Amino acid sequence: MVVVTIKGSYIVKPAKLIWTGRVSLSELDQIGTIMHVPTIYFYKPLPNWLTSSNDVVNNFKDSLRDVLLKCNAMGVMFTEAESESKLEDLGDFLSFSEYKYLIPNVDYTVPIHDLPLLLVQLTKFQCGGTALHFMSEWARIARCEPLGVVPFLDRKVLRARDPPIASQCHHAEFDLPPLLLGQLNNDEERKKKANVAMLRLTKIQVENLKNVANEERISTDSGRGYTRYETLSGHVWRSVCKACGHNLEQPTALGVCVDSRKRMQSPLPNGYFGNATLNVIAVSHAERLRKIREAIETVTNAYVRSAIDFLKNQPNLTRFQDIHALGGTEGPFYGNPNIGVVSWLTLPIYGLDFGWGKEIYMGQGTHDFDDDSLLLPSPNGDRSAILAICLQVAHMEAFKKYFYEDI
């Protein structure tokens, strides 16, 4: 087990403010994952690295001050820590249990407006390596480079219409997902213990899945083949259903996170800094790949605008917010018999250099929601993939078996 000692926590405030005030949120900013999304990066200093640990910490804090230009001046929580462990003690970096003390702790019982938007922890290992949680543009500033993409902060481009317009669209994503047959609620499923697995798929395995999926594609589908995401999420969905022992009558749902930035008329500005994703669901007993494609293709400009107006008309958004699902019964729950598969396959998550070279490993920091999963690209760009999945303990080994056996 990695033992971490906290040396100190500081509030890092902006070096200068060019604007203060309130930033209005769109309706999409207020649903789904409104908690922090922990990411973790491991670095090893280059052999000729001469910079002292104090200089590294000061560079981090100074560059963070420079990036905080538009805010309320409350600052960012920066934690400095150290460990007697070595990076080699973490093996292949796939054990989430070792990350607990490398990620800043957040108390989600306090009012949300009292929580910092960003928390950073810099941990120095005995071997000189570090692990941290940060914003991507911060790395450019730490290297004394200009911003790559200037953030577009005006969320009004994705606000509800005034007045909201009633739509004929049925937004199944805002309905309660299917329950296990014979159950009246999901209270018992929420209580069951879950754990996390990281599973790798080689490029050949991914291609085999795509080839099989497209060979089986029914004639009513559009001409294009299934995408990598459609193929892999369909495979995860099928494997979960088999592992959980669902019979043919059991309806199940797959949560699909769709980016609407380029689907809007006109497309959202480059660098739009708000949430522009919409979680839609595919519900099926069979033919799951076709259902996934149908769910993704429903996300048009009209559908997104309709969803935003729907949310605007709700008296309370609590039941659409993941923060209330963690250890509770109020928020959305995509556990058994359902599954969520989020794609980071096309995100530029690798190669962030703070001035001491690229990371030796990057991954999600923690993974707490039952039947939630994340698809990550391979860091070497060879079209292989990594699945991080949180599943009930009772079904995990069976899932691993079917996940690889059915390729």
DSSP character string of 139-163? HHHHTT---SS--B--GGGGSPPSS
Looking at residue 132, its pLDDT comes to 43
Measured CA to CA in angstroms, residue 82 lies from 53, 86, 177 at distances of 11, 11, 44
Amino acid type, 250: Q
Query: For the chain, how far is it from start to end, CA to CA, in angstroms?
Result: 34
- 290 φ, ψ (degrees, to nearest 5): -65, -40
Partner residues linked to 376 by β-bridges = 386
> What's the DSSP call for residue 114?
G
Q: How far is CA 365 from the centre of its chain?
A: 10
Token pair of 12, please? 């890092």
Looking at residue 133, its pLDDT comes to 38
H or E element that contains 340: strand 339-343
Q: How far is CA 6 from the centre of its chain?
A: 27
CA separation for the pair 133, 147 (Å, rounded)? 18
Looking at residue 32, its pLDDT comes to 83
- CB atoms under 10 Å from CB of 62, counted, come to 13
In tens digits, the chain (407 residues) has pLDDT values of 678 888 888 888 888 776 777 778 899 989 887 788 888 888 877 666 545 667 778 888 888 888 776 666 778 888 998 888 887 777 767 666 667 788 888 888 888 888 888 888 888 877 655 554 345 677 888 888 887 777 788 888 999 988 998 877 899 999 988 999 999 988 888 889 988 899 999 999 999 999 988 887 755 555 688 999 999 999 999 999 999 999 889 999 999 999 999 999 989 998 888 889 999 999 998 667 889 999 999 999 999 999 999 999 999 998 888 765 555 666 677 789 999 999 999 888 888 888 878 888 888 776 667 778 999 998 888 999 999 999 999 999 999 999 999 88
Cα four-point dihedral sign 202, 214, 337, 334:
positive
H or E element that contains 58: helix 53-67
Looking at residue 50, its pLDDT comes to 47
Looking at residue 363, its pLDDT comes to 82
pTM beyond cutoff 0.85: no
Looking at residue 167, its pLDDT comes to 78
CA separation for the pair 226, 214 (Å, rounded)? 6
Looking at residue 330, its pLDDT comes to 64
Q: For the sheet containing 372-377, what is the strand order? A: 194-201, 385-392, 372-377, 339-343, 252-259, 277-284
Q: How far is CA 402 from the centre of its chain?
A: 25
Tens digits of residue pLDDT in 155-209: 889 999 889 988 778 999 999 889 999 999 888 888 899 888 999 999 999 999 9
Tens digits of residue pLDDT in 207-230: 999 998 888 775 555 568 899 999
By the 10 Å C-beta count (0-12 exposed, 13-18 middle, 19+ buried), 142 is classed as buried
DSSP character string of 63-107? HHHHH--BS-S--EEEEEEEESS-GGGGTTS--GGGGGGGS----
CA separation for the pair 194, 191 (Å, rounded)? 9
The verdict on whether omega for the bond into residue 163 sits within 30 degrees of 0, i.e. cis, is: yes
